[in-house]
Amino acid sequence: MIPNIEIAGLGFGSVDYLCMVPYIPLDEKVGATGRLVQGGGAAATAIVAAARLGAQTAFIGSVGDDQEGNKIIRGLNREHVETSHIQIKAGKESPVAYCWVEQTSGKRSIVWSKGTAMPLDAAAVDLDFISSLKLLHLDGHNTEAAIRAAETAKANGVIVSLDAGSLLPGIETLVELSDICIASEFFARKYTGEENIEKAVKKLFMTGKRIAAVTMGNKGVIALTPDGLIKKDAFKVSVVDTTGAGDVFHGAFAYAYIQGWDTGKCLDFAGATAAIKCTALGGRTGIPEKNEVIKFLKEKGISI
C-alpha cells in the first residue's frame, strides 16, 4: 500500500481497445494503421495523470475477476496508483471500451460497456481513507458510493472535484457536493438550460463552488472563481488522438490545485498536460511528466 495518498479517484475504470483508422467506417471494412490496448475510464485515467505528474494517488472502483479486470489493475499498478480499494467481484465482467480514432483529425468514436461488475458496494467504501485525502475526484459513475464518499470528504475538509461530463442519475447531488466542478460543454448547457457558456458557468458556480469551469475542446476553457471569470485558449499541438484528453485535464488540474497554485496557473498546467497527451495514440500513452509540462509552458512564455 502506498502511504500518504493525496488524491483518490472514485468512478469508472476500463480497458480501452483502440484502433487508428484512415476514416471511421460505416457498413464497410477498413484496415487499421495502428492499434493499442491499455487502461481507460474517466476517473482512472485522471488519477493516472495525477500520478505521472508526481502525486500519490489511489483509484476506487469495481472490476470483475476476468482478464479485463486484471488488465485494469495491472495498468494502474504500473503507474504507481494504489489499487487496494478496488472491489473485485467474482463472476462479473469488467468495463471495456472500443475506440476508433480517425488518423486525419485525431477525432474518435467510442462504444463502451460498463459490464456487470459495477456499481461499487457503497457500504464497503473505506470512509476513514476518504477522510485522509487532500482531494477526492469523481466522474459521476458509481453514484451511490460517490455521494457517500463526497459527503464524508466534505465533512472532513477534503476537496471534492467533479468531472461533470454525463447526465447520470444522481449527478445533481454530486454537483451540489463538489467544491470544483469542471463540466463538458454538453453537460453545462443541458444541466443549466443555458446555451451561453458564460451564463452556464455562472449557474454552476452559484451552487457554492470554489471553482466552476467548462471545457470546450479546441476552443479552450472558461472558469469562474470568487475573483472573477477566466478564459484560456487551447494549446495548439499536432493532434494524433483526443481520447482521454478531458480526463487528463481533470487529473492535471487536481494535481495543480493541491500544490496551492492560483486558478489561472492550474488551468494553464491542465491545458498543457491534456494537449501533450493528444500527441500520441491512447488515453494514457502521451500523458507527460511534470518537467515536460513546465518545459512546454515555458516555450509558450508561461511560467509555473
Q: What is the pLDDT of residues 284-301, one digit of tens each?
A: 999 999 999 999 999 999
Q: Could you tell me if residue 28 is inside a domain?
A: yes
Q: Could you tell me if residue 237 is inside a domain?
A: yes
CB 232 within 8 A of CB 252: no
Distance CA 113, CA 240 (A): 24
The secondary element (H helix, E strand) that includes residue 246 is helix 245-258
Q: Could you tell me if residue 215 is inside a domain?
A: yes
Whether residue 1 is predicted with pLDDT greater than 80 in this model: the reply is no
The total number of structural domains in the chain stands at 1
Distance CA 119, CA 63 (A): 9
Q: Could you tell me if residue 160 is inside a domain?
A: no
The grid cell for 123 is: 457500504
Distance CA 180, CA 89 (A): 31
- Condensed to tens digits (0 to 9), the pLDDT of residues 194-216 reads 999 999 999 999 988 999 999 99
CB 297 within 8 A of CB 288: no
- In the 3-class helix/strand/coil scheme, how is 181-240 assigned residue by residue? EEEEHHHHHHHHCCCCHHHHHHHHHCCCCCEEEEECHHHCEEEEECCEEEEECCCCCCCC
The secondary element (H helix, E strand) that includes residue 161 is strand 159-164
Q: Could you tell me if residue 265 is inside a domain?
A: yes
What average pLDDT does the chain have?
96
CATH of the domain at 112: 3.40.1190.20
Q: Could you tell me if residue 166 is inside a domain?
A: no
Helices 42-53 and 263-277: crossing angle in degrees, nearest 10, is 110
What is the per-residue pLDDT for 3? Answer: 67
Whether residue 88 is predicted with pLDDT greater than 70 in this model: the reply is yes
Q: What's 124's DSSP letter?
A: G
Q: Could you tell me if residue 86 is inside a domain?
A: yes
Distance CA 88, CA 117 (A): 8
The answer, yes or no, to whether the previous bond of 25 is cis (omega within 30 of 0) is no
Distance of CA 110 to the CA centre of its chain: 16
Distance CA 56, CA 54 (A): 7
What is the per-residue pLDDT for 144? Answer: 97
Whether residue 119 is predicted with pLDDT greater than 80 in this model: the reply is yes
The secondary element (H helix, E strand) that includes residue 24 is none
The grid cell for 112 is: 463502451
Determine if the pTM surpasses 0.85.
yes
The grid cell for 131 is: 477522510
What is the per-residue pLDDT for 2? Answer: 62
Q: Which domain holds residue 260?
A: 7-118+198-299
CB 205 within 8 A of CB 224: yes
What is the per-residue pLDDT for 9? Answer: 98
Q: Could you tell me if residue 277 is inside a domain?
A: yes
